[in-house]
Amino acid sequence: MTGTPLIRLADVSKVYHLESGDFTALNHVTLDIAENEFVAIMGPSGSGKSTMMNQLGILDVPTSGNLFIDGKDVAKMTPLERTHMRRDVIGYIFQKFYLIPLLSAYENVEYPLILKYKKRDTTGKAAAVLKSVGFDEQMSSHRPNQLSGGQQQRVAIARALVNDPKILLCDEPTGNLDRKTGFQIMDILCGLHKEGKTVILVTHDPKIAEYAHRTIELEDGRVVES
């Protein structure tokens, strides 16, 4: 492939300026992730995994170095372009699900479509995606606080998927689930990878990491194994 890979981190650092001094959470990370890779990021607590995911999810901008996503330099994008990239190119799945509490399961999935098309969904896509992740249709009018963890994570995955992003960022998606449910969620992610998504997964669990085809080890903000 001649062009840049889907994701390229070139000498990326993230420094937090604290009262007690500067804290380097990501230390000169250089890394390429190609389209349709399934990558697990592992490492001890505090090693910078979430910090890295936040850079990839352009919720944050590196202090130094260059981050390219889908061929674009994140630092050169306007805030609105970043917002649109989060909406259209990236699907973010969190450990704590982070569903919108005031919206029903269905509306949570419909929401990114509304953001993109500026109108309510009439194509049935939200319902279809919700069904594809194995969510019980009868629960779709329930609010998140009426759902189990596994159900919530399915809704969260459906929400991340509904705008057909190229990249799925999953920060410990099974961290709040029991083992059995965790593996069910992993099966869904595997299926999505097979459909062509690029999946980046943070986990502490080696069993979960086994699903991935490549593992990146972080320690004190550095890549120690890739």
Partner 1 sequence: MRDIFFDLSVRSVKLNFLRSILASIGIVIGVVAISSMGMLGANMQLSVKQQLSSDVNTIMISSDVVRTTSTAGTPTTSQGIDKSTLNDITTAAGLNQVIPIHNTRTQFTIGSTDGRGSIYGLDPNDITKFLTIAQGENIKGGSDALVGANIATNFNMNIGSRIKIGQDNVSITRPTVRVAGILAARGFASDGVNTDNAIIVPDTWYTDHFGNKDLYDQVNVIMQNIDTINQTEAAIGDKVNRRTDIVRISDASSRLSSISSTLGTITTFILAIGSISLVVAAVSIFNVMMMSVNERIQEIGILLSIGTEKGEVRRMFLYEAFILGVIGALVGGICSLIIGYSVVSAMIGNTAYFFLPASIIYVPYGMIIGVVVCILSGLYPAWHASNMDPIDALRNE
Q: How many CB atoms lie within 10 A of CB 73?
A: 13
Shortest approach of partner 1 to residue 11 CB, angstroms? 22
Shortest approach of ligand ATP to residue 190 CB, angstroms? 22
Binding site partner of 94, from ligand ATP, Mg ion, partner 1, none, Cβ cut-off 5-8 A by kind: partner 1
Quote the tokens at residue 67: 């981050």
Supply φ then ψ for residue 128, to 5 degrees.
-65, -45
List, in sequence order, every residue forming a beta bridge with 163; answer none if it has no partner.
none
Residue 112 or 150 with smaller CB distance to partner 1: 112
Within 8 A by CB and 6+ apart from 150, the residues are 177, 178, 181, 184, 185
Binding site partner of 100, from Mg ion, partner 1, ligand ATP, none, Cβ cut-off 5-8 A by kind: partner 1
- Taking the C-alpha atoms of residue 198 and residue 189, their distance in angstroms, rounded to an integer, is 10
Interaction of residue 50 with Mg ion, rule CB under 5 A: yes
Residue 95 or 174 with smaller CB distance to partner 1: 95
Residue 55 or 104 with smaller CB distance to Mg ion: 55
Residue 60 or 70 with smaller CB distance to Mg ion: 60
The residue ranges that bind ligand ATP (CB under 6 A) are: 16, 18, 23, 25, 43, 45-51
- Residue labelled with tokens 């001649």: 2
- Taking the C-alpha atoms of residue 119 and residue 38, their distance in angstroms, rounded to an integer, is 33
Residue 122 or 138 with smaller CB distance to partner 1: 122
Shortest approach of partner 1 to residue 144 CB, angstroms? 10
- Taking the C-alpha atoms of residue 15 and residue 105, their distance in angstroms, rounded to an integer, is 37
Give the interface with Mg ion as residue ranges (CB under 5 A): 50
